[in-house]
Each structure stands twice: as structure tokens, then as C-alpha cells.
Structure 1
Amino acid sequence: MAVTLTENAAQHVRRSLDKRGHGAGLRLGVRTSGCSGMAYVLEYADQVAPEDSVFESHGVKVLVDPKSLVYLDGTVLDYTREGLNEGFRFQNPNQKETCGCGESFSV
């Protein structure tokens, strides 16, 4: 099981953690939401919970809780800029459908 960051995503997270001045890594999870059923949840984590799975990519830790890992296994997280838009992009092999706005997915 693994969740990885591209080099661009790792650089963005590292810069953000440096700007915050603290943090253990990036917490990635899922929650029930949206028209397709599930939505990604991203936040900076200040500590690792005992039940977290910890993956490291390009020197940055990604923390995933056990319930979310089932839906996120194999996911690659990228950070892209396209014109005025920038943000994280998820390449999730478990994802079967997304809603029209791209905010939620189903497995």
C-alpha cells in the first residue's frame, strides 16, 4: 500500500510547512460528500497519530488514517499550475467516477 507525492507536490508542501514554521507532514483523507459520494480532505498535520500510515515522498511525509487508506491506496498527488489556476491533482487508481465539478468521486 502506498500514497505518493510528485516532486512538485512535495516542494509545495515543504514550502507551506516552512512558512507555517512547524508540522509533521500532509494529512490526506476522504469524507462522505458531494454528488459522487466522496471528497478528498487535505490538511497540514502537526503530529502523527498512532493509527496513521506514514508514506514519505521526496522528503515529505503523507499521513493517512486507516479508513481513508482503503480508498487512497496507489494515489499519486501532484501540484499543478495552469494559467491562473493552481492546486493539487489526484491520480487515484480506485476512482471510478467524478462529478461534473470535479469536487467529489466514487470508487
Structure 2
Amino acid sequence: MTASNLTLSQTAAQRLHALSQSEGYRVMLRVAVEGGGCSGFQYQFDLVSELHADDLVVERDGAAALVDEMSLILLRGSVIDYVDELSGAEFQVRNPNAKSSCGCGVSFSI
């Protein structure tokens, strides 16, 4: 099933393709929202090779991010991105539903 209100950026898709190529198998990004962090909710990112039956799939150019239904409620309208800056390289979520976030950008509140 697809998650229509969630987008995978071109940069994130390119990074997933590069990881897949270096690993020799398709690498997908599992994104979840969990309670915790200094702002109430936090993002959990995992690189996986298998799809679960209840995963919602966000695809771009053959790359895929996976999300569960509960997390999708908090991620509607978001963009899953990949940034490579001097401070480090990481997957990030640009979430229009987040009212505030912590300094590290990993946790947020609604």
C-alpha cells in the first residue's frame, strides 16, 4: 500500500540507491514516529531490506521509504530528505505538522 501524503526527496532517493548499490541488495528506509525525545515525539530511521505486510510505501525513482499507519498520521504532508552538511550526513523529516522541534532536529511536538 502507498502512503500518498508523504514524499521522498530526490536526494533521499539518490542516497538509498547508493546504499543499495554498495550493499548489493535493495536498501529501504523505515521511518517511524515514537513517543520520547526532549519535545514529545522522535523519528526513528532504520535501513532494511524486507517489506512487512502492513508497511505503507513511499517511492521515488525506484527507491523506497516505509512507514506504519500510526506514524503516517503524524507525518502527513512531510518530506523525507537526506542532507550532507559539515555537521554530518543524515536522513531528516521536514514535517509541516511539527509545532516545535529540539535543537538536534530529531524530536518534535505537535
Q: Do both proteins adopt the same fold according to a TM-score greater than 0.5, normalized to the shorter chain?
A: yes
Contact 2:54 2:68 in 1 (8 A): yes
Instruction: Report the Cα distance in structure 2 between the residues aligned to 1:3 and 1:96, rounded to whole angstroms.
Output: 18
1:13 has 2:16 as partner: yes
Aligned position for 2:54? 51
Identity %: 38
Contact 1:5 1:78 in 2 (8 A): yes
Unaligned runs of 5+ in 1: none
1:68 has 2:71 as partner: yes
CA RMSD for the aligned pairs? 1.7
State the shift of 1:89 in Å.
2.9
Aligned position for 2:7? 4
**Residue 53 and residue 35 in structure 1: after superposition, are their counterparts in 2 closer, same or farther (change >3 A)?**
same
Contact 2:102 2:108 in 1 (8 A): yes
Aligned position for 1:37? 40
**Residue 23 and residue 75 in structure 1: after superposition, are their counterparts in 2 closer, same or farther (change >3 A)?**
same
User: Secondary structure of the equivalent of 1:51?
Assistant: coil
Match of 2:90 among 66, 69, 87: 87
Instruction: Report the Cα distance in structure 2 between the residues aligned to 1:51 and 1:67, rounded to whole angstroms.
Output: 11
Contact 1:26 1:61 in 2 (8 A): yes
Is 33-42 or 94-103 further displaced after alignment?
A: 94-103
Instruction: Report the Cα distance in structure 1 between the residues aligned to 2:76 and 2:68, rounded to whole angstroms.
Output: 11
**Residue 38 and residue 51 in structure 1: after superposition, are their counterparts in 2 closer, same or farther (change >3 A)?**
same
Q: Which runs of 4+ in 1 moved over 3 A?
A: none
The TM-score normalised by the length of structure 2 is 0.84
* Count, aligned residues: 107
Is 91-100 or 80-89 further displaced after alignment?
A: 80-89
